[in-house]
Amino acid sequence: MTLLTRIPLRWSIPLALLLLLLLAEAVTFGYSRRAADAQEEAAALELVTQDMHQLQETIRYRLSPDDWSGAQAALSTWGGHPAVQRLVLTDESGKVTASSRVELVGRPVASVFPGLDPQLARRAAATLAGQVAPAPDRNTIVACSPIPFGTRGKLGAHRLGMLYQSYDMSFRKAVRRHALQRHVLITGSFHAACMVALGIFLHLVFSRRVGVLVAAARRFTAGDLAARAGLGGEDELAQLGAAYDRMATEIGRSHEALRQVADKYRVVADNTYDWEFWIDAAGQFVYTSPSCQRVSGRTAGEFLADPELMERIVHPDDVPLFREHRHDLGNGAPATARLQFRIFHTDGSLRWIEHACRPIHDAAGNFQGIRGSNRDITEQIDADAALRKVSRELEQRVEERTGALNRKTTELADSQRALINLVDDLNQKTAELQGVNVRLTELDQLKSMFIASMSHELRTPLNSIIGFSSIMLHGWTGAINHEQQENLEIILRSGRHLLNLVNDVIDVSRIEAGQVGAVVEEFDLGELVAEAVNLVRRDAEERGLALRVAAVPVALRTDRRRLLQGVLNLLSNAVKFTKRGGIDLTVSIEGAGEPSRVAIAVRDTGVGIREQDLTRMFQPFVRFGPPDEAAPGTGLGLYLTHKLVTEVLHGEVTVESELGRGSRFSISIPARLP
């Protein structure tokens, strides 16, 4: 109905009649179609029932328990009918034994008739009578009939087969629907022509004159105050047109008088310096003076179009005060209200507004709106804020400088006393430092002398012990018994161990003194790894440890001796702290073609290291071992390895470990030193 009221009468009346006609035709067509479909379904059900009965008798005659070919021939003949979709015969297990479509033979009936209602077959089997029912789509009929049989051509009951048929009745329905549609089209066209003729007649006698009156009213509301209807006659429409003409004349006179008065007041309001406004009882701006653009940066049209614009430009901190003020005025506050708040100008600045307004009431005391004025007092609020700020700053500076002067006086006296004491302490410390420096110089000389002496005095006898014990152990001085061999092996291992300790101490001292530099040479990393592994292989085998190596030949240019020393230290530690399992040494390369860095990693299955001890791994004289055993060695091996790798080979040493699961130490160095 809302749509029809927006259309002219000359079109809405014929359109309404046409819509009613179409609705009636649609209802009639729907009812007729359902009735036709029901008739076709009933006829199709009857036809399928008769066909199934006749086909059942034919199959009983041709069916043999061990030969289904006769039934297959019968189904192939009947399946030629265009309305028969599927026609199958199943044995007692539900498997297709004969069909109008040979490719369906051997398949289960559930796959041939998807969505088949199992209750239909159960009722047919229980009653030994045919069952016929339309499918859910109402376009297909599914029928099933049991076929008990015995010998050829005779009815028996010791074995049960089932005949299924799917019949398409959509073609019969389509034929009847087409005929029905043609009938509805013919009758609907005739009725539509009658309705259009009736609409034209009503337009000529009724809606045309209404259109004249509406056109005059539109011109009048658009500003043409001289627009009149001028309808002749004595009927109701003529009387309505005459009343409209008289009303338009009176409105035109009043409008002219009001325009003259409004022009006088608008000239005054539009030329005021302050922002004058008038808001009606609904909160809509009725008037706002052009000065609003000077104060806020927004035009009068923007405020007239958006009544919420005023509140949106108020500073968020002043919004509660502004809303409370508006609420009081809306509830009929009698006196003039004044307040100050801030608004945002379109240029991004804040403007202070002195707002004054008062409610307007009619003669009956009803609230009619708000009349008010906004004055920009930003400059006044700012010459006041600036004076107060300068005054506060001056007072604060005087207080700060007075306090600072008092503190400086006290601090100066304290500083003078402290300076005297400091000079005395410096003189005393200078004398003490001079003595300490002399002592340190002497100690450094003694240390160098000790290292040189130790290098000669300790290594010479140790080399003799190691050399002669090795000669005796190999039997070059004569045959030895088993006990002597064991003792000599202990002497040889202890001598080598002591020599390694001495070398470690000497190397540490030389590194800390900055006396160790890199001796660069070209060599193969695979050969170095093999040499280090051979040196610890015997100890690993004695402990029953598997020693696995995955290294590739890589040409390096670095200090071979120091790299071998570091790798050997890692392997020795792994053998020392591993009781069972094995040790893996792997080499990885960074960079294709010419390698840029190489990494040698040693992983063991030993006792592992506690997490809190990992940060102290590379400190001197730190030893780690099982909680219930004393850790062997001096604790210089890892410290020395870290020093050699970082300071001589310009690489790094990393460690990963888990207590009870083993450790992984890795040396990463540049492939070529300058």
Kindly compute the dihedral angle of the four CA atoms of residues 379, 308, 291, 341, in this order, to the nearest 10 degrees.
Answer: -20
389 and 314, same structural domain?
A: no
The answer to whether the CB of 346 falls within 8 A of the CB of 296 is: yes
Domain membership of residue 138 (yes or no) is yes
**Number of neighbouring beta carbons within 10 Å of residue 172:** 19
How far is Cα 568 from Cα 603, in angstroms, rounded to an integer?
A: 13
How far is Cα 143 from Cα 33, in angstroms, rounded to an integer?
A: 25
DSSP 306: -
Q: Which regions of the chain are under pLDDT 50?
A: 1, 4, 150-159, 627, 630
Domain membership of residue 364 (yes or no) is yes
CATH number (domain holding residue 370): 3.30.450.20
User: What's residue 581's pLDDT?
Assistant: 92
**Boundary-marking domain end, from 441, 457, 473:** 457
The answer to whether the CB of 549 falls within 8 A of the CB of 529 is: yes
CATH number (domain holding residue 611): 3.30.565.10
639 and 597, same structural domain?
A: yes
Cα distance between the two ends of the chain: 96
- What's at 239, amino acid-wise? Q
164 and 38, same structural domain?
A: yes
**Boundary-marking domain end, from 161, 177, 193:** 177
Q: At what angle are helices 378-457 and 459-473 packed, to 10 degrees?
A: 60
Domains held by the chain: number: 4
**Boundary-marking domain end, from 376, 411, 435:** 376
392 and 369, same structural domain?
A: no
Domain membership of residue 235 (yes or no) is no
**How large is the greatest C-alpha to C-alpha distance in the chain, in angstroms?**
160
pTM strictly above 0.85: no
How far is Cα 531 from Cα 567, in angstroms, rounded to an integer?
A: 10
> Would you say how long the chain is, in residues?
674
Rg of the chain, C-alpha, whole Å: 57
Which positions ≥6 away from 642 have C-beta within 8 Å? 618, 653
429 and 529, same structural domain?
A: no
The answer to whether the CB of 479 falls within 8 A of the CB of 610 is: no
User: What's residue 156's pLDDT?
Assistant: 41
Domain membership of residue 442 (yes or no) is yes
Q: Which two tokens stand for residue 501?
A: 């300790």
How far is Cα 27 from Cα 3, in angstroms, rounded to an integer?
A: 22
Query: What range does the domain containing 38 cover?
Result: 25-177
663 and 548, same structural domain?
A: yes
User: What's residue 11's pLDDT?
Assistant: 62
